[in-house]
Amino acid sequence: MRLRFALVLCLGLMIAACRSTETPAASPTRPAPTATRPASSPTPRVAATLMPHPTDTSAPLPTDTNSPPTPTPPVNFTVALQEIASGFTRPTDVTNSDDDTGRLFVVEQPGRIKIVKDNQVLDQPFLDITDLVLSTGNEQGLLSVAFQPGYRHNGLFFVDYTRQPDGATVVARYNVSADDPDLADPNSALTILTIAQPQTNHNGGQLQFGPDGYLYIGMGDGGGQGDRHGPIGNAQNRQVLLGKLLRIDVTNTTESQPYVVPFSNPFGNEVWAFGLRNPWRFSFDRATDDLYIADVGQNNYEEVDYQPTQSAGGENYGWRIMEGLHCYDPVEGCDQTGLKLPVAEYSHDGGNCAITGGYVYRGPSFSWLSGIYFFGDYCSGTIWSLQRDSSGAWQMTRRLETNLNISSFGEDQGGDIYVVDLGGAIYRLTSAPNP
């Protein structure tokens, strides 16, 4: 693809990234990342290349009949990116507080959350917890923020970070300041959940409140090569919290009991779904409540997993038995009984290395995009769309080539989609229909 990505390969993601720090000697080792772009790469502005391929996938995509198919938009449309703010330090997330202020909240890996208000980045951070956050590893740091439903009234929000000095995952709750809505109260911290991390990578880190009001937490498998944690690995062990999507109730709780396990959780503990390697980014479709999980792969394949809104949880998404639609352990003849296979995958050809999950477009600006899921790759900067056709089959299309290190996607309150570049800028996804 581009020379830049021969220089900055997947371990560069502090973030999503997938790759192991314990790659066997027989496998090529990807170079460590840099925090900034190589000097030979241009500064990103707008990406404007529309790829002509109608479908881009290395294997047939399955048909899913659990939910009605999304309406088919116009056959041809272009996608581009418009820069709206820059100057951030390794941004890892962008979101909104759903309080009619129009603000965007940008998470920086070292431990700060900044506000974009009226198209300006406020000088003073909304929250600064750099003294609590361990961010020396590529995938460590302050990884996401989620505002509790009803934030305009309750002022509560949650963060996910790796802590000093041991790198354990911490989910903590904070309050907005009583005096200034653009400032949080740093002394209001309440630790909700702490999970030990055996390695520095595969920390997951996404927080999202689901349509049911519960807090969902993405947890990687604990790092290392191939989830070699115990006889079956962490991801397949339902008694540990690594390699999972967790679901907890954080409403009406106390300091002594900061969360409870919902009675409807499938295994009687915090686990909602399992068999995940590093679900760096996941999201809910705000119109249908369907769940999309982008799970970072090991050596060859990246995948998108899907859970329809009527699911009762308990899905096994296959890792380490499978990587994408392919056997991983064992490499042939793996038992796929009971596994929920991904609805899309792509290979590491062309500079790809680590999937960054996005959102289903439901914004007011580009009606022809309604119902389409957008996601990208950290290393190649490629952005794809994913949607179901009238038969229920999934169609994955390469839409845009960029020179960004795509660390995250986000939404504003109205549903427009934003793209985060780890190099320091936030972009709004724009589109136009072709005649």
pLDDT in tens, 62-104: 555 555 555 555 568 999 999 999 999 999 999 999 999 999 9
Q: Is the dihedral of CA 247, 251, 256, 261 positive or negative?
A: negative
Q: Write out pLDDT tens, residues 236-274.
A: 999 999 999 999 999 988 999 999 999 999 999 999 999
Contact present, 403 and 351 (Cβ < 8 Å): no
pLDDT-based confidence at residue 25 (cuts at 50, 70, 90): very low
Lowest mean pLDDT among 25-29, 393-397, 404-408: 25-29
Mean pLDDT within 293-314: 98
CA–CA dist 367, 432 (Å, integer): 10
Question: Is 8's pLDDT higher than 70?
Answer: no
Estimate to the nearest angstrom the gap between the alpha carbon of 276 and the chain centroid: 13
Angle at 350 between CA 345 and CA 351, to 5 degrees: 95
Phi-psi region of 292 (alpha: psi -120 to 50; beta: other; left: phi over 0): beta
Class of domain 3-433: mainly beta
